[in-house]
Amino acid sequence: MAYNQNQPKREQNDSDNKKLVHCRFCKSKNVVKKGYRKTEKRGKIQRYLCRKCGKAFTLDEGFYRMRNNEKIIAMSIDMYFSNLSSRKMRNQLHRHMNTKISHVSVLDWARRFTLKVHKFVDKLNPSDLGKGYYADGTKIDRQGTKDTFWACVDWKTRMIVGTHYSLREGNKEAVTFLKKSVRKGLPNYIQVDSAKFYPRAFRRTFYSNKVGGLKVEHRTQNTLKTGRYNVRIETVFSKIKDRVDDFRGLKALWSAPILLAGVVLQHNYIEAHTTTNEIPCALAGLDLQTGQNRWLGLIRLASVC
């Protein structure tokens, strides 16, 4: 009986997927399942027939024409962003999946699929964000440079709601960052540290008519007084710092923002937060039904939607 109890859930998922399937050629949703295509590494892949234009097709589930097994790819990306060293990753993949994967391949997959998934989740609108945001910047040492990675965290869900990558700090960059942070919802306040460019940036962003005359309270945490640093989101930021320290690919300017976007995806959509015990996106009202293998689920969603 226990087995049967699982059945309705599977059917549910299946019909959800069906709604998403549309013809690769004419975009019609009038399609039927029609046999399988055999592939060497990815097994049998469902083939569809379009009733409108009559063409047969398989879905691009994100791994179209990739030689390696999609589970190995998703697993590698997950391990990479959860900060496993490349040597440990190689050993794990070799022991458990009997496969040899180079660091270059993993880095390539991490960037490629981060871009794809990022583009998809950027269009989603979380319904349950809180009213208090905490923002901070992390210095990125890219072989001697002092870039800044700005991130804004919603306290209620721990979701990272806005990020910005810049080569310097200052009023203009702060304005860009603040605007990006309120795209999905306007909080009552945003707490930042006492950096001198924030007051002007807040005035320019929230107290003029530029964002419809909306008001967001600017709260400051005086680090000199408390000796602490935006305590509430410290865990989020120390996590980012940990990951950044180990990124070899961060040497290149084009690569750094993509890998940081991957770190944000890992935080928002893959891992349960240690305090809330929930994945931030779930708390924020985004139930994406990605299944246990969340990277794999996200890549598939991003590819068929």
Window 231 to 250, contacts with Zn ion (CB under 5 A):
none
As beta bridge partners, residue 149 has: 138, 165
Residue placing its CB nearer to Zn ion in the complex, 25 or 229: 25
d(CA 172, CA 56): 52
Q: Does 50 bind Zn ion (CB under 5 A)?
A: yes
Q: Does 186 bind Zn ion (CB under 5 A)?
A: no
Q: Does 53 bind Zn ion (CB under 5 A)?
A: yes
Nearest to 296 by CA among 61, 35, 56, 5: 61
Please name the amino acid found at residue 284. A
Q: Does 301 bind Zn ion (CB under 5 A)?
A: no
Least distance (Å) from Zn ion to the CB of residue 31? Answer: 7
Residue 14 in tokens? 């299946």
Q: Does 23 bind Zn ion (CB under 5 A)?
A: yes
Residue 288 in tokens? 């994406």
Residue 140 in tokens? 């990125």
Residue 85 three-state SS: coil
Q: Does 32 bind Zn ion (CB under 5 A)?
A: no
Considering only the stretches 24-32, 76-84, 85-93, 213-221, report the one whose residues sit in contact with Zn ion under the rule CB under 5 A.
24-32
Q: Does 59 bind Zn ion (CB under 5 A)?
A: no
Number of residues that bind Zn ion (CB under 5 A): 7
Nearest to 297 by CA among 274, 270, 273, 276: 270
**Sole binder of Zn ion in the list 20, 25, 35, 131 (CB under 5 A):** 25
Residue placing its CB nearer to Zn ion in the complex, 28 or 194: 28
Nearest to 74 by CA among 260, 220, 270: 270
Q: Does 139 bind Zn ion (CB under 5 A)?
A: no
Least distance (Å) from Zn ion to the CB of residue 21? Answer: 11
- How would you classify the pairing of strands 31-39 and 43-50? antiparallel
d(CA 123, CA 108): 24
Q: Does 289 bind Zn ion (CB under 5 A)?
A: no
Start-to-end Cα distance in the chain: 35
Considering only the stretches 50-58, 62-70, 153-161, 276-284, report the one whose residues sit in contact with Zn ion under the rule CB under 5 A.
50-58
**Sole binder of Zn ion in the list 34, 44, 52, 96 (CB under 5 A):** 52
- Tell me which residues touch Zn ion (CB under 5 A): 23, 25-26, 28, 50, 52-53
